[in-house]
Each structure stands twice: as structure tokens, then as C-alpha cells.
Amino acid sequence: MPKIVYLDSLPAQNGIDILENQSSIEVVRIKSNGNHEDSFLELKDAHAYQVSAARDEVPKIFQVDKEFLAKTPNLLLVSSGGAGYDTIDVEACTENGILVVNQTGGNSEAVAEHAVAMILNLLKKINESDIALRKGWNGERTEFLGLNLLNKTVGVIGLGNTGGRVSEICKQAFNCKIMAYDPYINHDRFNEIGAQKSSLEELLSESDIVTVHIPLNKETKNMIDLDFFLKMKKGSFFITTSRGSIHNESDLEEVINSGHLSGAGLDVWDKEPPEASHKLLNYDNVIATPHIAGVTVDSRNKMSEFVATQLLKIMNGGDPERPVNLDVVEVFKEKFKKIKI
């Protein structure tokens, strides 16, 4: 019988109910704060492992790396609880013929709405005026002279589910010009959304707002550095709801401090949550949230359903709906056939 082991919980209870309300697959829960030896006894004969995508929520011992894989010889599949997979070494899994799946698209609406909310907040200086009022401000309203989003140019880096939805909202609701950079998306996707396919340099120099929607991997780690920020249009705004460590926080603080950028909206950080003493938290024109863009009741339920239904489908012999390492799918299928049911 195929066996699924999940760490701590799923994004919401409905996914757990789906997993446990069936009898064809064994489902076992292990706990981060439980006995690690007992947990790895369960993992030793597991065929699938479900883990959160947030690296600061998962103890290192339960993150999927070469050491973890050495202790889980029967593992065929690793499932991330989110669209990202920061807790999974995909390269190591691929080398071992282990399929990795995620839940891309499950929280795209929530994250897109959050990104647009940050854009509006920055343009309208809502955060700045709120802080000022709480400190007893009694000046001229023109101190908070803002901007309209209508007809602005929005640069979208990453035109997947979330980036595409941000583009749609900005284009349809605010008549924005959308410039998009994504070397992994075909031209039809740009046409479908009505986005102008752009080079990264062109996007940075012309956009009033730059919003980032890409995964964290070897290619993107520290991709957004001082050179990137200095290529952005002076007075523009930077938004990211993707993953911490893609943008260099010290470099961003430098361009905020110099006035090159007018503000930033940050939902993701190198360390989550960031320390209260973090330099970027000293600026009123920096909106900070603790990686909560996708944390809504609606998205958590959808993500949890995605997790459970995809795991059960695969463990019942079906095709993965959201594979991360496509090259391993056929290898996985051959391995799966050997499981004694």
C-alpha cells in the first residue's frame, strides 16, 4: 500500500480530511517537535512526503536535502505545500529520481491582490499618512501628495499564475501598460494577457512600478541587486511577493535611502519574520508584511485541497498536475509500478 507522510499539517484542515477519508493509501502525520528518531522510522518506508514550502517553518532536519534523502530510501515523491519549494533541494531529488510537485496557482489570486494592494498603498501614501497621524501629525495634506495608478506602466517579472493575474488587474481596472519579462513563457501567454514582451533592461528603465513573481532557485538567488535597482526608473516603486533572497536587502535599503526609488512593498525576507531592527523597517515608504500575501482563508483551503487531491491522484497511479522536475515523471512512473499494493 502506498504511504504518504506529512509534516505537522496541511495549509488547511480540509486537505487533511480528504487524505484521511480514504482507505487505499496509508497516511501518517509526523511532528516537527516530536521524536525525530520515530519520525524517520515512519519516513523510512514512505513513498511520498508532504512538507511546507516556508523554510523558516521547517526544521533543517526535515528539509529535503541529500542527508534527508539518504534516510528515506523508499521515497518516490516530495510535495511542497505551496507554489514555492524552498525546503526542497530539487536538484538532489532529480539526481535520485524523486518527483517533486508543488501547488502553483493555488494562492495566486491572494498573492496578486496583495501585490496590487501594496502598489495602491504606496502610490496613495496610505502607510505614510497612517503612521504620521498616529504620531500626532497636523500639517498640510499636500505633504502626502500621491499618484494615481491609472495609465501607469507596470513591469511584471515572471508571468506565471500570480504575475499574470497582477497584469490582468492592473490592465483591466487601471488601464496600465504592462511590460513583462519571462524567458520561460511562450509568446502566446504575453498576447493572452496583453503584456508587452520586454527585455529586463527595458522593463526596468520604463516602468513606474516593478513587481516580482518568480521562484527562488540558483538562477534567481540575489538576482535583484544594486545594479538592478539602479537600472530602475528614478522615482519608481519596487514590489515583491515572491521569495526572500531573490532581492538583496542591503542594496534595496541603499536605493531607498538615496531617494532613487520612491518606495517598496515587501512581503518576503531573507529571514522571516525580519528582526524589528531591520534597516528597511525604518522607512515610512516601505510597506512590510511577514510573508502573508497568500495567507487567506480562501487560498489556504484551495492550496490544501490541491495538496491532498494531487497526492492521492499520483499515489493511485495518475499523472502529476503540477510537477516541478518534469524530467523525472517517467522515472517516477517506472518506480511506482514496483510498489506492492
| Cβ 2 vs Cβ 48: under 8 Å | yes
Task: State yes or no: cis peptide before 11, omega within 30 of 0.
Answer: no
Q: pLDDT tens-digit profile of 2-37?
A: 999 999 999 999 999 999 999 999 999 999 999 999
Q: What is the pTM of this model?
A: 0.91
Active-site residue among 47, 213, 291, 300? 291
Write down the mean pLDDT value for the chain.
96
Q: pLDDT tens-digit profile of 64-89?
A: 999 999 999 999 999 999 988 999 99
Residue 341 in this model has a pLDDT that exceeds 80: no
Residues 136 and 262: their CA atoms lie apart, in Å, by 24
Instruction: Determine how β-strand 209-212 pairs with β-strand 77-80.
Output: unpaired
What is the pLDDT averaged over residues 170-175?
A: 98
- CATH 3.40.50.720 residue window(s) in the chain: 3-105+298-337, 108-288
| Residue 291 three-state SS | coil
Task: Reply yes or no on whether 114 is catalytic.
Answer: no
Which strand ranges, in their side-by-side order, compose the sheet holding 48-51?
26-30, 3-7, 48-51, 77-80, 99-101
* Cα angle 241, 117, 246; round to 5: 15
Place of cell 529520481: 97
Residue 340 in this model has a pLDDT that exceeds 70: no
What is the model's pLDDT at position 185? 92
| Residue 65 three-state SS | coil
Task: Reply yes or no on whether 272 is catalytic.
Answer: yes
Residue 248 in this model has a pLDDT that exceeds 80: yes
What is the model's pLDDT at position 339? 81
What is the pLDDT averaged over residues 244-264?
A: 98
| Cβ 240 vs Cβ 268: under 8 Å | yes
The C-alpha cell at 36 is 525525530
What is the pLDDT averaged over residues 119-146?
A: 97
Query: pLDDT over 70 for what percent of the chain?
Result: 99
Q: pLDDT band at 55, cuts 50/70/90?
A: confident
Residues 319 and 322: their CA atoms lie apart, in Å, by 9
Q: pLDDT tens-digit profile of 296-315?
A: 999 999 999 999 999 999 99
Residues 6+ apart with CB under 8 A from 9: 16, 29
Active-site residue among 243, 249, 300, 305? 243
3-state secondary structure 12-25: CHHHHHHHHCCCCC
Residues 10 and 21: their CA atoms lie apart, in Å, by 15
Task: Give the containing element (helix H, strand E) for 211.
Answer: strand 209-212
- The CATH number for 108-288, chosen from 3.40.50.1820, 3.40.50.720, 2.60.120.10, 2.60.40.10, is 3.40.50.720
Task: Give the containing element (helix H, strand E) for 330.
Answer: helix 329-337
What is the model's pLDDT at position 338? 84
Q: Is 250 exposed, middle or buried (0-12, 13-18, 19+ CB in 10 A)?
A: exposed
Q: pLDDT band at 243, cuts 50/70/90?
A: very high
Q: If we measure between CA atoms, which residue out of 75, 19, 86 comes closest to residue 52?
A: 86
Q: pLDDT tens-digit profile of 207-226?
A: 999 999 999 988 999 999 99
Residue 115 in this model has a pLDDT that exceeds 60: yes
Please report the sign of the dihedral spanned by the C-alpha atoms of residue 28, residue 33, residue 38, residue 44.
positive
Residues 3 and 27: their CA atoms lie apart, in Å, by 6
Task: Reply yes or no on whether 291 is catalytic.
Answer: yes
CATH number for the segment(s) 3-105+298-337: 3.40.50.720
Residues 190 and 8: their CA atoms lie apart, in Å, by 39
Q: pLDDT band at 100, cuts 50/70/90?
A: very high
* Cα Rg, the chain, nearest whole Å: 22
